[in-house]
Amino acid sequence: MQILGIDVGGSGIKGAPVDTETGQLLAERMRIKTPKNAEPEPMAEIVNQIAGFFQWKGPIGIGFPAPIKSGVAMMAANISSRWIGLNADDLFTRVTGCDCTMINDADAAGLAEMTFGAGHGQPGTVIMTTLGTGIGSAIFYRGVLLPNTEFGHVELNGMQAEHIASDAARQREDLSWKKYAKRLDLYLKLMEGLFWPDLFIVGGGISKEAEKFLPLLTLATPIVPAQLLNQAGIIGAALAAQKRT
């Protein structure tokens, strides 16, 4: 099945058509910068632009940086507070004229990795963590997703974890890889002690440079970089839409 996958991020909105049977992008992805303040209507219009670029008329899956329940955004950590309580599914469907399906962005990335990437065939408990503007999370047990976890907001050294261990924090504070790895180690050890996972998968744009920080971590749990890199959110969003059709 061919579905347009959209990955909505704090810095960019990306999309491409996906073959959901193989996980392959059917065209080079299109990326547009997230509008200032990340307000609902401007963001919906960018998704419409991406759909128009691909001349898309079919179903659309959208990975979104918030917990999503029945299409409604439940919070807004790195986007406008106007999203809270808004039926994002209805908004995107109205603006694009296509049947849209919403899913939390980290859940989308996790679905992709469990289906086609580093988590494929993995038994037990797998935690996917996406390091970008914030920290996204997805947890799976025997391949089944527990949706809408927000592990990036757990307390770490008196602050929300994503404020000190996200890739944005690394860049903002110009941290060396060694210093950043110490912070990430603290966060992942907290997750390790709470859930005793069998595997960690690290995604987000930073996963392209995994060799610079993953070897510096001291976890007991195996940890691997995401295999689908910055395509995971797009692929997983399409998979979520496929499940709904």
Taking only the tens place, the pLDDT of each residue in 45-58 is: 999 999 999 999 99
pLDDT at 245 over 80: no
Q: How confident is the model at residue 205 (pLDDT cuts 50, 70, 90)?
A: confident
Q: What pTM does this model have?
A: 0.93
| 149-177: average pLDDT | 95
Q: Please, how many CA atoms are within 13 Å of residue 178, restricted to the half-sphere of its CB? A: 0
Does CATH number 3.30.420.40 belong to domain 2-107+232-244?
Answer: yes
Pairing assessment for the beta strands 100-104 and 68-69 based on DSSP bridges: unpaired
| 199-203: average pLDDT | 96
> For residues 117 and 26, what is the distance between their CA atoms, to the nearest angstrom?
17
CATH of domain 120-227: 3.30.420.40
Pairing assessment for the beta strands 72-73 and 68-69 based on DSSP bridges: antiparallel
In order of 157, 163, 204, the CA distances from 160 in angstroms are 8, 6, 18
| 99-128: average pLDDT | 96
Pairing assessment for the beta strands 12-19 and 2-8 based on DSSP bridges: antiparallel
* Buried-exposed string 216-228: b where 16+ CB fall within 10 A, e elsewhere: ebeeebebbbbbb
> For residues 42 and 166, what is the distance between their CA atoms, to the nearest angstrom?
26
Domain extents in the chain: 2-107+232-244, 120-227
Tell me the pLDDT tens digit for each residue of 64-96: 999 999 999 999 877 999 999 999 999 999 999
Tell me whether domains 2-107+232-244 and 120-227 share a fold: yes
Closest CA to 142 of 171, 114, 179: 114
pLDDT at 233 over 90: yes
User: What pLDDT, on a 0 to 100 scale, did the predictor assign at position 230?
Assistant: 81
pLDDT at 112 over 90: yes
Tokens of 219: 């976890």
